[in-house]
Amino acid sequence: MGWSTSQLADLAGTTLRTIRHYHDVGLLAEPERRANGYKSYGVPHLVRVLRIKRLTDLGLSLAQIADLGDSDEHPREALRELDAELEAQIERLQRVRAELALVLRQETPTDLPPDVAVMIEDADLSPQDRSFTVVLAQLLSPETLVRYAETLKDYSRDPAVIEFDHLPEDADEQTRQRLAERMRAMPYMAEMRAAFPDPTGLWSDAPRGVEHARRTVVKVMVELYNKAQLDVLVRMNA
C-alpha cells in the first residue's frame, strides 16, 4: 500500500502545501488513486520529492529544476551556473562588509562612499551643497569623484558662500554680479578650475554618459537653488 499525501510530506520533511505546489507547477506527477479516491504515492514519488528538496536547498529555483526534467542525471551545468551566481554574491557581500567596517570605524555618513566621505568630513557644506555632492557621487566615475572630493578638502564657508546661501530670489543684478565676482575669487574656485579646467570635464567619463549626467545635474541644481543663486553660478563660471 502506498503513502498518503500527508505521509509523503512527513517522510520527505516538507509540508502538504509544498507537495500540492509541486503538483500544480508540474514538478511532481499525480499518483494513482485508491478505491476510496485518495492518492497513493510510491517510492518514485518520494525520491522525486527528496531530489527537488535537495536541489532547492542547494539554491536552484523550481523553474530551474523544471528545466532539468525528470532525469536523475547530475545537473552539472545548472549547478555551475548557481556556483557562479553565489561567487558573485559573496564578492558583493564582502565588498559591502568592507565598506561597513570603514563606515563604522571612521563614523562617516552613509550617503557617500566612505573614501569620499572621509575627504570632505571637515568641509562645512551647506545642506544644498551636500545634497548636490551626494548626487554627483551617483553620477561621476569613481576616479573623477575622488578628484572632485579632493577639491573640497579645504573648503570653508567663505562670507561670499554664506551670502550665496541666503541670497533671495529677487536679488538685483548688481548684487548678483558682485557676489559672482567674489565667489570666483575664492581659493576653492581656483582649486576647482585647476582640477577641472573645462566644467563639463566633471562628467566627461560619467558611467551612464555625458548627456545623462548633464541633464541630471541641471535638474538637481534647479531644485536645490533659487533663480538668483543659479544666475550667480552662471556668472561665476562665465
Closest alpha carbon to 136 in 55, 192, 93, 197: 192
* pLDDT for residue 104: 62
Q: Confidence band (pLDDT; 50, 70, 90) for 102?
A: low
Q: Could you tell me the end-to-end alpha-carbon distance of the chain, in angstroms, rounded to an integer?
A: 90
* Residue 85 pLDDT exceeds 80: yes
Nearest to 153 by CA among 117, 203, 193, 207: 117
Helix, strand, coil share (%) of the chain residues, nearest 5:
65, 5, 30
Give the C-alpha separation, 106 to 94, whole Å: 18
Residue 49 in contact with residue 28, Cβ under 8 Å?
yes
Structure confidence by residue, pLDDT tens digits, 208-225: 998 999 899 899 999 999
> Around Cβ 186, how many Cβ atoms within 10 Å?
17
pLDDT at 25: 92
Position 3, amino acid: W
Give the percent of the chain with pLDDT over 90.
Answer: 35
Quote the pLDDT of residue 120. 61
pLDDT at 187: 83
Please state, in angstroms and rounded to a whole number, the distance separating the CA atoms of residues 127 and 132.
Answer: 9
**Which cell numbers hold the place of 167?**
541670497
Closest Cα partner for 62 from 12, 30, 26, 14?
26
CB 151 within 8 A of CB 199: no
**Do residues 200 and 210 touch, judged by C-beta distance below 8 A?**
yes
pLDDT at residue 118 in the model: 58
Q: Bigger pLDDT: 146 or 166?
A: 166
CA 132 to CA 149: how far, in whole Å? 12
Q: What is the largest CA-CA distance in the chain?
A: 98
pLDDT at position 113 is: 64
Please state the rounded mean pLDDT for residues 233-238.
85
**Cα distances (angstroms) measured from residue 85 to each of 57, 78, 97:** 15, 11, 18
